[in-house]
Each structure stands twice: as C-alpha cells, then as structure tokens.
Amino acid sequence: MGTRIQRQSLFLILVAGFLFLVRVDSIRFDLESGHTKCISEDIKTHAMTVGKYHIVNLNEGQPLPDSHKITVQVRSAYGNSYHYSDHVSEGMFSFHAPEEGDYRACFFASDHKPSTTMTVDFEWKSGVIAKDWTNVAKKGSIELMEIELKKMFDTVQSIHDEMFYLREREGEMHLLNRSTNSKMAWLSFLSLVVCLSVAGLQLWHLKSFFEKKKLI
C-alpha cells in the first residue's frame, strides 16, 4: 500500500513538473500612450524562452497609424538586458536563460496628443515547447521518430531538473522553518522574561507603597 502511494505521489510530481516547465503564455492587453506595461515570467537556468509580440490591427485592410509604435525590453531579475526594440509594431526574442529568476518584458508606448490606446498581442513560451522542432528537422534531416524521441528526452530532462529544483526548494523551506521556529522560541522566552520582570516590579512597587502607608 505504501509503495503504491509513493508511486502515485511520484507520478503527480512528474506531471506537475512537466506542466510547470512546459507552458505557453499568450495574452492580449491594452496599452495607452505614455504608459508602460510589464509582464514577468519565472525561468529556470539554461531554459529556452521565446517571445513574440505585435500590435493588433483593429481596422483590417488599413495600415496601422504612425502612433502605434512601442518599445520593448526584456530584463532578468538582476537587471541584465536580453532584448531591446525601439519604435516597432512587432517583433520577437529568443535566448537561453543564463540565470534563474523572474524575467520581465516591459512594453512602453510613446506619449501622443491626443492620447491613443493600442492592443498588444504577446506570446511567451518557456521550456521544451519553446524549441523550434520544425527548424531542427529541416536543418538536420531528422526523421519524425527521431524528433519525437528527442522531444521525449528533453521533456524527461526538464522533469528531472525540475524535481531537483523542487528538492532544493524543499530543503530551503525546511531550513527557513527551523530558523523561524528557533527565533519564535527565543522571542517567546524573551516575552516570558519581560512579563515576569514587569510582574515582579509591580509586586515590589505595591509592597513598597503599602509599607510606606503602614498598611502591612
């Protein structure tokens, strides 16, 4: 029974790791001129990430107005820049994340009078799904089965890396809990000492007061 539960737990962890690593975030948002909109993505070290963006043309058959231009910059949590495009209506970026953390893609629209609002479509892929398997097949003349095997290998590798990452996070949380419990124990002890000291001072003060009044 215990072995069965362990297998089910391992399966759930693998599925959760796969869903966490292989994801596609596609959103559409409004951006007003003179304002900035930032979107963050948690990316693991050496993970592949690809982003595509464009301003949606709400008037089909007509060109976009000159005011519909944006500036896009992608930065890591440490402030390093990995993409920058100025005064564009569309673009894309792709890179292997050299550092782990939250990466931010910021969209800025220049100020215009009168103010204008544009709709931006943004798709951000991270993990295994971010790889362009079509180009891989064309460049290497790889058979379909070989491509599927490579996909499976990369997926398993991603799950393996995610499991180690979760284990490290679990260890960090365990240390944090121990540290917090230790600090709370010292705080409780200090509070008890302070309460006893205050109670002792009150008793001493009352005793001195009654002695002066010759009540005792």
Structure token digits, residue 85? 């495009």
Contacts of 42 (CB under 8 A, 6+ apart): 101, 102, 103
Contacts of 206 (CB under 8 A, 6+ apart): none
Q: What angle do CA 114, 120, 121 make, to 5 degrees?
A: 165
**Which residues pair with residue 125 across a beta bridge?**
24, 50
How far is C-alpha 15 from the chain's CA centre?
19
DSSP 37-72: EEEEEEE-TT-EEEEEEEE--SSTTSPPPTT--EEE
How far apart (Å, rounded) are the C-alpha atoms in residues 139 and 135? 6
Q: What does the pLDDT read at residue 8?
A: 45
Quote the pTM value. Answer: 0.55
Contacts of 116 (CB under 8 A, 6+ apart): 32, 33, 65, 67, 68, 109
Angle between helices 2-21 and 144-212 (to 10 degrees): 100
Q: What angle do CA 70, 133, 157 make, to 5 degrees?
A: 105
Task: Identify the segments of the chain with pLDDT beneath 50.
Answer: 1-24, 136-137, 139-141
Neighbours of 119 (CB within 10 A): 14
Q: Contact, 89 vs 71, CB < 8 A?
A: no
Please tell me whether the peptide bond between 114 and the residue prior to it is cis, using omega within 30 degrees of 0. Answer: yes
Quickly list H helices, 22-143. Answer: 133-140
The per-residue pLDDT for range 66-82, each reduced to its tens digit, is 888 999 999 998 889 99
Q: What does the pLDDT read at residue 208?
A: 83
